């Protein structure tokens, strides 16, 4: 079993980074700017109006990306909760599932708080169902989930407008990648299956991959 002693600390660090952003930072200033621009008592030039529109579009775009990430984190957190409850894993593997599940719950809380602070509505957790047939099947599915999650964050990184949101998202991406590497190793696979450079995954491909686990 790979050393997982740093996973909980990594998850806490990611959560703190997101909550710091949620409590203030650059995007909070942008939100305040938008509120000022909405004051009917102020006259704005064409340039100011364009800037406000661009800023609002950027914030809305980042909210949409955060809600996409939140959907995936909801699924991951629910997956580990079901795995732990199933009792299929024992000893160090069960402890690993608990540690990873805890970081996924922290990701859910932190992303949801950030969406709210940016003026958005966090997406609700979807109903989910996972095939929990035996220990090996569970570990393989966990590896698929974590590798997919890391690829999803990497795929969205170029679209994020706020430097603060990007930094926070990448802090979660790195934790997801460490989860994936640990599971890959446990299954006798390469911790870096794509070699020296990780491959991103598109939103369309990721949502298609997780669709079988969502109860419609």
Q: What are the residue boundaries of the structural domains of the chain, listed by start?
A: 7-213
Which residues are CB-contacts of 88 (< 8 A; sequence separation ≥ 6)? 132, 134, 135, 138
State the pLDDT at residue 27. Answer: 41
In terms of Cα–Cα distance, which of 120, 119, 118, 114 is closest to 22? Answer: 114
Q: Which CATH architecture has domain 7-213?
A: Up-down Bundle (1.20)
Half-sphere exposure of 206 (CA within 13 A, CB side): 24
Angle at alpha carbon of residue 16, lines to 107 and 184, rounded to 5° = 45
Mean local confidence (pLDDT), 10-26: 50
Q: What percent of the chain has pLDDT over 70?
A: 75
Query: First vs last Cα of the chain: how many Å apart?
Result: 36
Q: How confident is the model at residue 216 (pLDDT cuts 50, 70, 90)?
A: confident
The two three-digit tokens of residue 152, written as one number: 């999803």
Q: 103 pLDDT exceeds 70?
A: yes
State the pLDDT at residue 8. Answer: 47
State the pLDDT at residue 25. Answer: 43
Question: 214 phi and psi, to 5 degrees?
Answer: -100, 125
Q: Looking at the chain, how many residues does it have? A: 216
The per-residue pLDDT for range 119-160, each reduced to its tens digit, is 999 999 999 999 999 999 999 999 999 999 999 999 999 999
pTM listed for this prediction: 0.79
């Amino acid at each position: 079993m790979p050393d997982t002693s740093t996973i909980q600390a990594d998850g806490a660090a990611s959560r703190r980074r997101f909550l710091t952003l949620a409590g203030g930072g650059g995007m909070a200033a942008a939100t305040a700017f938008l509120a000022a621009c909405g004051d009917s008592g102020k006259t704005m030039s064409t340039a100011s109006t364009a800037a406000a529109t661009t800023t609002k579009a950027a914030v809305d775009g980042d909210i949409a990306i955060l809600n996409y990430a939140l959907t995936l984190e909801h699924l991951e957190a629910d997956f580990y909760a079901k795995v732990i409850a199933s009792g299929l894993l024992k000893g160090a593997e069960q402890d690993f599932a608990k540690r990873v599940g805890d970081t996924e719950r922290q990701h859910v809380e932190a992303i949801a708080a950030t969406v709210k602070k940016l003026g958005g509505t966090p997406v609700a957790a979807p109903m989910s169902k996972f095939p929990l047939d035996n220990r090996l099947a569970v570990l393989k599915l966990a590896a698929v989930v974590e590798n997919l999650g890391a690829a999803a964050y990497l795929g969205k990184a170029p679209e994020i407008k706020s430097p603060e949101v990007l930094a926070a998202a990448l802090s979660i991406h790195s934790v997801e990648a460490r989860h994936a590497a640990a599971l890959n190793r446990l299954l006798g696979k390469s911790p870096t299956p794509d070699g020296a450079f990780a491959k991103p995954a598109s939103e369309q491909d990721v949502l298609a991959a997780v669709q079988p686990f969502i109860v419609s």
